[in-house]
Structure 1
């Protein structure tokens, strides 16, 4: 066996270089969407579905990313979105900047381990300093929360629309005591933004859910006042046989008797529901067509296949008892509501349960001229709700517009002077990466990013630590402008960006895994007819074990 060819360090790619490019590419994809002046992306699915959005989480969620390093970055953005509901674009941008800076440090001879260590110390200092820039919130003053909401939607609409939707968001959250489990958002094509409405109650989108009210008798009321509401968590159908079998009929009278039995069973079900005093019946599963038609003729609105989360919300809010047999329904199992009515909102059909006595619910119905506009409006307001709720939970906010990021960059840069050796270079690189946020905000606002960043640095040096880039592209005090964001959003961006970057920097090469079909290929045989392979001769149990796994390795590699 000939000795392996020698590979010198100069023959290999610099550590981490091949693993950096995919992460930077993902960051470049969303770079132009950052801030109130960010551009939109048009995403076209394989089925031709078109979505236009500049929401980072929506873009990354729909991208087809094949590279494993790219998927790590996308996964980190998803984690950011799940944790705080905002800041995904900023976090991905920061990861891209940190990776690009790391590449430059590699060229200067800094090892990836030293880069990761320097980044960690710099991020720790930045997170400590972040608290010093926080502005505490007064629970009794909703003004700052309203400004947080407007910051989240500014740039998507004009100022009047942003103010209106900030008010919608606060009103909806206030109605449910900031408990988002009792708040639902719906988008309804048709009309404009100002046609949106906040409903006190549970709105069920008949088009988007599996609920169906087809076949309702024309005489059934479209609305009920103070209705008695039943909740059946099982199919409503005449008695069925417990086991399959063959039915033999000896004469026509038997057929008539069988039909009469089915008719009587349906009549008993209908009578049980009606005699209990039911006005509206929600069934989580299907309802026999004849039973539903008969109930409709008795004035009972029967709604089948109610989505599970909607069904559970209706049970909690109305106080109805969940029953498994409609035939056993009685008055004690019924819940109450202020009203139940069918509404047409634009091109959508809603069934609305209002004034629920047991648990307050609210539904925000957002309008848009087209399905795309309405859906994008809902996505933006969803982010707005998450941000406002997070700010209230934190009890503090920080200046937006990149002001906090530049202030932290200056703090980290000053702290880097106290570090030794190559960690100092990494910490300085971390500080430069933080400046990417105000720089890109200025760039997307149409400013010269170099000139804007130079002026921002000068004003921060003079003590104006809250100066950032506003929606109009002006450099001004963000607190005075009312541009605020939750502390946790910035903190989570720092933590997630550090973790993601450090994980990528620890990877020096991406290797393809051996598939089962290639398990017997030359150089990787673990036993076999000849008992030879790339790892030396192996016979006996080990060779047999490998064969049981299709020739591949029977273990996984990890830290």
Structure 2
């Protein structure tokens, strides 16, 4: 790292080195020929870390290994200590569509491309900085270059034609390079069906459940909800219910359990055994009244946020009603959205308008558990009419594969939704394979020729950075990036604006004709965020250690010199400080 005569790091070089460390890890994960990374946070064979406090004597650290090529997962998993790291991860990292951190809730796309472009922009900027170009000119040039690039992106964007084939191509492109299990084609079908049903996916409208039983080719889209760990509370209840009416009970104070009928500090005076029986009758009458009301409404399945006590279980089982308890808030919302039910907080105040419907509600085995007493089961709600929440059920996946497959499904669904203009995104599609980067680079170079100031140098550097992203794409596939980049530029100069790097042939081809499409909104975010972070890093020209000390500030070190001088003078003649008085 470059330093000054006193050994202090120079800026912006110090921050650029840290950003490049991210890019060095993520660069080979870009494109359809990406490679996985293994991040080892803890390994049992190493033994416990010397700074780690074990939970018990001789306890070993559990294995904590992440293997993935997904940029968002890598960005979150990398251990970072540099001060600029939180800025990068916060601006570029995954978005959370909801408030709850749920496995698979993130919908990241374009993270790797953003980091690579950002790194190239900073490398180009440092080179110009060392040649005497002022950071102001660098930032001004980058802003103008970004505007020119986005204008060309808008011009190259084609409105979504509404064809299913286009959606499938977008979904496959989003999952290319992360083809978990080699079933991208089948997953793409389910992804498009999911977007057809719910629009732009969120954690509430698109659930992904993973089970180890079966193979990935058995994965499918459930037109409803799947409760991965919740099932009927009693074996006397039906395993399968067709044409099911569903009641969703939420809230934290009222459910299918006996309420507290007196306040804290109250006393109960029982003068005879009959009084105790009468007290129990109060609960019994309430239970029967609640369950009778549920039964009269034709409810077949009750899903609760809290528990279902033994007495309620017996009453429900006697009436052939399935009870499912302790369903978390998000999963209960997914069941309600899928079935069309409203979440009711008071079981004594249920109406027909609160109920939902599912074609079939069935308890199925999730996975067999060897050498254990009980197998694991899940509950599937499917056959829902016009569901507002659907579920992708992935089979034959566990641990790392499950997490990666979940991320890829959500990424593909987000890309299809964005291309359709859902979720507040600008709709439209663009050719992939590096075609749009070359078009933007050419547009930026053209705009740079009309720039009279030194900002022209920064604009040209911006174009070089865009082309460097394409070079990384080609290099990851094992091809000669110099030769292929020249061929791509020649194809664009000849009028083929959709010319891109197409696999598996590894040649220059028309990306649109080959079915390689990206959502325009995703590429827009890549350019915007990479430019934003690059400009932010270039604005920083020093780092100040904000650690506090108990020693008084000297007259020349304090902001308020007069007060500092008085404080220093006081300490010379008095023990302690003025604040001890």
TM-score, structure 2 as length reference: 0.81
Q: Equivalents in 2 of 1:132, 1:358: separation in Å?
A: 36
Contact preservation (8 Å) 2:200, 2:418: no
Structure 1 residue runs without a partner (length 5+): 1-7, 207-211, 540-545, 551-559
Structure 1 match to 2:244: 227
State the SS of the aligned residue for 1:452.
Answer: helix
How do 1:159-198 residues align onto structure 2 when only pairs under 5 Å count? Answer: 161-176=183-198, 182-198=205-221
Alpha-carbon spacing, 1:257–1:49, altered in 2? closer, same or farther (3 Å): farther
The answer to whether structure 1 residue 76 and structure 2 residue 108 are counterparts is no
Q: Equivalents in 2 of 1:115, 1:534: separation in Å?
A: 45
Alpha-carbon spacing, 1:512–1:135, altered in 2? closer, same or farther (3 Å): same
Structure 1 match to 2:300: 279
State the SS of the aligned residue for 2:241.
Answer: strand
Structure 1 match to 2:52: none
Q: Equivalents in 2 of 1:20, 1:487: separation in Å?
A: 28
Alpha-carbon spacing, 1:520–1:282, altered in 2? closer, same or farther (3 Å): farther
1:502 Cα shift? 0.7
Post-superposition CA distance 1:200-258 (Å, at most 9, x none): 2122222xxxxx44641x23111112223223233322231332235676776766665
Q: Equivalents in 2 of 1:84, 1:236: separation in Å?
A: 36
The answer to whether structure 1 residue 478 and structure 2 residue 511 are counterparts is yes
Structure 2 match to 1:132: 155
Alpha-carbon spacing, 1:335–1:214, altered in 2? closer, same or farther (3 Å): closer
Structure 1 match to 2:168: 146
Query: Which of 410, 417, 438 is matched with 1:382 structurally?
Result: 410
1:109 Cα shift? 0.7
Contact preservation (8 Å) 1:138, 1:395: no
TM-score, structure 1 as length reference: 0.84
Contact preservation (8 Å) 2:226, 2:378: yes
Structure 2 match to 1:5: none
Query: Which of 118, 129, 135 is matched with 1:95 structurally?
Result: 118
Q: Equivalents in 2 of 1:11, 1:204: separation in Å?
A: 59
The answer to whether structure 1 residue 296 and structure 2 residue 317 are counterparts is yes
1:359 Cα shift? 4.2
Contact preservation (8 Å) 1:232, 1:282: yes
Contact preservation (8 Å) 1:127, 1:491: yes
How do 1:242-253 residues align onto structure 2 when only pairs under 5 Å count? Answer: 242-245=262-265
Contact preservation (8 Å) 1:321, 1:334: yes
State the SS of the aligned residue for 1:185.
Answer: strand
1:508 Cα shift? 0.6
Number of equivalenced pairs: 527
Q: Equivalents in 1 of 2:247, 2:477: separation in Å?
A: 55
Q: Equivalents in 2 of 1:142, 1:291: separation in Å?
A: 48
Which region of structure 1 is more displaced relative to structure 2, 92-101 or 362-371? Answer: 362-371
RMSD of aligned alpha carbons: 3.5
1:433 Cα shift? 0.8
Alpha-carbon spacing, 1:86–1:248, altered in 2? closer, same or farther (3 Å): same
Contact preservation (8 Å) 1:222, 1:342: yes
Q: Equivalents in 1 of 2:337, 2:80: separation in Å?
A: 41
Post-superposition CA distance 1:440-481 (Å, at most 9, x none): 111110113233323333333333332222232323221221
Q: Equivalents in 1 of 2:161, 2:351: separation in Å?
A: 49
Q: Equivalents in 2 of 1:330, 1:105: separation in Å?
A: 70
Structure 1 match to 2:49: none
The answer to whether structure 1 residue 109 and structure 2 residue 137 are counterparts is no
1:355 Cα shift? 3.2
Structure 2 residue runs without a partner (length 5+): 43-61, 98-105, 369-375, 572-576
Post-superposition CA distance 1:85-140 (Å, at most 9, x none): 4211111111111111111111101111111111111111111122232233322x
Contact preservation (8 Å) 2:567, 2:578: no
Structure 2 match to 1:337: 358
Contact preservation (8 Å) 1:295, 1:301: yes
Contact preservation (8 Å) 2:344, 2:354: yes
Q: Equivalents in 2 of 1:391, 1:99: separation in Å?
A: 30
Contact preservation (8 Å) 1:189, 1:371: no
Contact preservation (8 Å) 1:87, 1:493: yes
Q: Equivalents in 2 of 1:431, 1:410: separation in Å?
A: 7
